[in-house]
Amino acid sequence: MPPPGGKRMKGVQIFRPFIYGTTARPFNDTDNPKPPGVPADHTHSWQVFVKGIEDTDIFYWLRRVQFKLHESIPNHLRTIDAESIMKENSGKKSPSQQQRAFVVSETGWGEFEITIKLYYDSRSGEKPQTLYHHLRLHPYGRTEAEKEAMRNGGEVIAWTYEEQLFNEPFEEFYHVLTTGAHDKGSKPPATAAASSKGGGSSGKGGKSTPQHQQPQQSASSEELVASGEVKERSAMIPLSNKPGQPFSRDTEALEIRRLREAGEKVHEMIREMNKSVKAKEAELAQLKAENAAAAVSSSATASTTTA
């Protein structure tokens, strides 16, 4: 792997949102029939994936993903390479036909933990990171209503929102991250397209050659408010949820409200517990005082009797 280009950007942190998880569907005779050759005991089709928020491009910073499935599954170690995906996409004219995620599709009957290993662009200088995700085939939730809603939806969705933080990135990789924000569906600027290829290796001996164009400004929150859409190659998060896209600023606000309400409930429980403890401490102190008074009275009575 070539050495990263340039010095580290001191005091700089850049994050990129992404989603990982699984989607499972039970086999049925209407909209998800069991394909020929699938073992008789397999009850579900499922996918495990890593993708960008609202299916935006993440191939410019994440170059490879390795999925470790249950050992009973043939070829249980699956590695998906961004370069291969982009080559396949180059022959597809319609953006809707292009693959935008690292995906493994399988069938099965049981739940298990999947190990997901992320490999970054070589220009980042970052070591691979490992995530763990539990494959869910059956409806779940905090309440019966949530389970029923998932059951009625026909899919068991177990997705996790995550943010990849690049702390003090190298100059060349900083340029990759901050150059080329553009509208979804439009072509990226030429410099951005070039920076996505080859992992940053060029020149003799495969050494990395930094590109010195001025980085473009990332899309701002004002632009998001105006358009309502996230941009490619940015850290934008959607304002509101859409079908198949459950993560947004609205989701964040709802989760913050839930956490605040839960915090208030915990504080109320602590206050009630403190009141109960104080009442019991007062009761204990009174009992001790009464016992001490009884002991003194008993001692005085004994002295009088002796005299």
Which residue, chain included where needed, has tokens 């292009």? 98
Assigned CATH topology for domain 13-237:
Immunoglobulin-like (2.60.40)
pLDDT at 193: 56
CB 124 within 8 A of CB 164: no
Cβ proximity of 168 and 8 under 8 Å? yes
Q: State the pLDDT at residue 1.
A: 53
SS3 content of the chain, % helix, strand, coil (to 5): 35, 25, 35
290 conformational bin, left if phi > 0, alpha if psi -120 to 50, beta if neither: alpha
Contact call for residues 63 and 84 (beta carbons, < 8 A)? no
The Cα–Cα gap between 238 and 231 comes to 10
What is the per-residue DSSP string for 160-190? EEEEEEEES-BHHHHHHHHS--EETTSPPPH
List the end-to-end C-alpha distance of the chain, in Å, as a whole number.
101
Tokens 């009575």: give the residue.
301
- Fill in the amino acid letter for 135: L
pLDDT of residue 201: 38
Residue count (the chain): 307
Query: Which amino acid is it at 62?
Result: L
pTM score of the predicted model? 0.77
What region does 279 belong to: left with phi over 0, alpha with psi -120 to 50, or beta? alpha
Q: What is the pLDDT of residue 136?
A: 97
Confidence at residue 200, expressed as pLDDT on a 0 to 100 scale: 43
Q: How far is CA 300 from the centre of its chain?
A: 74
**Cβ atoms of residues 171 and 7 within 8 Å:** yes
Q: What is the pLDDT of residue 185?
A: 74
pLDDT, position 296: 85
The pLDDT profile of the chain, 307 residues, written as one tens digit per residue, is 556 768 999 999 999 999 999 999 999 999 999 999 999 999 999 999 999 999 999 999 999 999 999 999 999 999 999 999 999 998 887 777 889 999 999 999 999 999 999 999 999 999 999 999 999 999 999 889 989 988 888 899 999 999 999 999 999 999 999 998 888 877 777 655 555 665 543 333 333 344 444 444 444 444 444 455 789 999 999 999 888 889 999 988 999 999 999 999 999 999 999 999 999 999 999 999 999 988 888 877 777 766 6
What values do phi and psi take at 114, rounded to 5?
Answer: -105, 130
